């Protein structure tokens, strides 16, 4: 940092939480692989991987509260935003570039085969780099299915993550605990209402990725509850004694995110399941994981690798999925015909993420940290 900027000593990391973020990121890949074989949210195997985003938001709120709540007497709002931009945005840019490359390899066409103008691709790339959303039917909405970030779909959750960081810096951190608790309860009621009253049209909370209909509202409700709940949990956190927390919590996450859609048609039970996971079980998992400690060399290495690669993995995997979808849809392939490729993606994406981390993300962040 520059000489006129306060230098903060890094706090000890919650290695278990880092590891669980990696487990959830792997489940997102698995979820997206099976998304290619589904005709709707109702018939997708390994259906609830989208809830990993709610888990990410809780983790983010908890970690940010832990890392920054006691620093505001010495840290200005601009410093906080600068630190968060350095941490998050280099991979946002790389994800947009990867997504553009994948789109061009795919042929530069929408899913229905319509050719896309070069100007639209450039606009979409610029918006993706700036993390500004496209509107359905807008000039930069190149894929034709309404995504906020059509070159790299998962960037939508980073868009909301930025909103959460802004909310934290401007007012959430200032709230007394009782008012923050009230905000969490109100947000939870909003989340439950959206899920149980079928705000998505399919009684599920896999929303936030488009500006169409009520999708954006659902995405904001996902952020507002989960982020603020994590922040609330970080205040006065009192750990409990628990052995094997990482493996227990990992098994819980894998099990919860693997459950198929509840019902053969749009069913309120699926919305209830989403509510139970996000409003009740995920906070418990975060609490247990934050209470535990990494013991043993195997657990330590696993948590370190998963934690380091979780964010790059989440950001760079979907351009690969676009190519996978284009290939299997064009040829009408089933999972039994494509599982070796699916497995290669599941194994290869973390390797690519690790390379991006070491060759790009960490060097860029170090460079920016010295000059900003």
Percent of the chain whose pLDDT exceeds 90: 87
Distance from chain centroid for Cα 16: 18
Domain that residue 209 falls in: 17-371
Q: Is residue 194 part of a domain?
A: yes
Q: Is residue 6 part of a domain?
A: no
91 close to 361: Cβ distance less than 8 angstroms: yes
In angstroms, the Cα distances linking 124 to 138, 142, 199, 326 are 10, 7, 28, 19
Mean pLDDT of 252-269: 93
3-state helix, strand, coil in the chain (%, to 5): 70, 0, 30
Q: What is the pLDDT of residue 2?
A: 44
Q: Is residue 270 part of a domain?
A: yes
Q: What is the pLDDT of residue 360?
A: 98
User: Is residue 6 scored above 90 in pLDDT?
Assistant: no
Going by pLDDT thresholds of 50, 70 and 90, the confidence category of residue 295 is confident
pTM of the model: 0.95
In the chain, the number of structural domains is 1
Q: Is residue 10 part of a domain?
A: no
Q: Do you know the residue count of the chain?
A: 372
Q: Is residue 4 part of a domain?
A: no
Mean pLDDT of 56-79: 96
Going by pLDDT thresholds of 50, 70 and 90, the confidence category of residue 10 is low
User: Is residue 7 scored above 60 in pLDDT?
Assistant: no
Mean pLDDT of 125-135: 97
**Residue that the structure tokens 């200005």 belong to:** 76
Q: Is residue 8 part of a domain?
A: no
User: Is residue 15 scored above 50 in pLDDT?
Assistant: yes
Going by pLDDT thresholds of 50, 70 and 90, the confidence category of residue 1 is very low
341 close to 348: Cβ distance less than 8 angstroms: no
Q: Is residue 12 part of a domain?
A: no
Average pLDDT of every residue of the chain: 94
| Residue 109, strand partner residues | 115
Q: What is the pLDDT of residue 4?
A: 47
Going by pLDDT thresholds of 50, 70 and 90, the confidence category of residue 214 is very high
| Residue 147, strand partner residues | 210
pLDDT digits (tens, 9 = 90+) for 20-32: 999 999 999 999 9
pLDDT digits (tens, 9 = 90+) for 154-186: 999 999 999 999 999 999 999 999 999 999 999
Q: Is residue 2 part of a domain?
A: no
């Amino acid at each position: 940092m520059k000489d006129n900027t306060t230098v903060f000593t890094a706090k000890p990391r919650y290695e278990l939480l880092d590891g669980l973020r990696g487990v959830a990121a792997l489940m997102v890949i698995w979820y997206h692989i099976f998304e290619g074989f589904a005709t709707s949210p109702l018939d997708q195997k390994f259906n609830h991987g989208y809830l990993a985003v709610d888990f990410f938001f809780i983790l983010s709120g908890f970690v940010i509260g832990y890392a920054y709540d006691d620093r505001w007497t010495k840290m200005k709002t601009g410093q906080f935003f600068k630190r968060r931009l350095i941490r998050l945005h280099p991979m946002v840019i790389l994800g947009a570039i990867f997504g553009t490359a994948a789109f061009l390899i795919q042929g530069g066409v929408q899913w229905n085969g319509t050719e896309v103008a070069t100007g639209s691709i450039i606009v979409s790339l610029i918006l993706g780099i700036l993390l500004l959303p496209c509107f359905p039917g807008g000039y930069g909405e190149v894929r034709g299915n309404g995504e906020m970030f059509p070159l790299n779909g998962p960037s939508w959750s980073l868009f909301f993550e930025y909103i959460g960081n802004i909310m934290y810096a401007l007012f959430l951190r200032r709230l007394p605990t009782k008012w923050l608790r009230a905000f969490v309860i109100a947000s939870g009621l909003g989340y439950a209402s959206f899920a149980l009253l079928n705000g998505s049209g399919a009684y599920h909370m896999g929303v936030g990725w488009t500006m169409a209909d009520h999708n954006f509202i659902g995405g904001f409700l996902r952020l507002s509850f989960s982020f603020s709940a994590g922040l609330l949990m970080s205040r006065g956190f009192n750990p409990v004694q628990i052995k094997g927390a990482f493996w227990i919590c990992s098994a819980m996450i894998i099990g919860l995110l693997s459950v198929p859609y509840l019902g053969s048609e749009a069913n309120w039970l699926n919305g209830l399941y989403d509510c139970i996971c996000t409003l009740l079980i995920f906070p418990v998992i975060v609490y247990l994981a934050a209470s535990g400690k990494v013991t043993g060399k195997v657990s330590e290495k696993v948590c370190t690798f998963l934690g380091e690669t979780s964010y790059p993995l989440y950001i760079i995997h979907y351009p690969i999925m676009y190519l996978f979808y284009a290939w299997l849809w064009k040829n009408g392939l089933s999972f039994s015909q494509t599982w070796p490729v699916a497995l290669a993606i599941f194994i290869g994406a973390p390797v690519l993420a690790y390379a991006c981390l070491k060759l790009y993300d960490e060097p860029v962040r170090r460079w920016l940290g010295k000059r900003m």
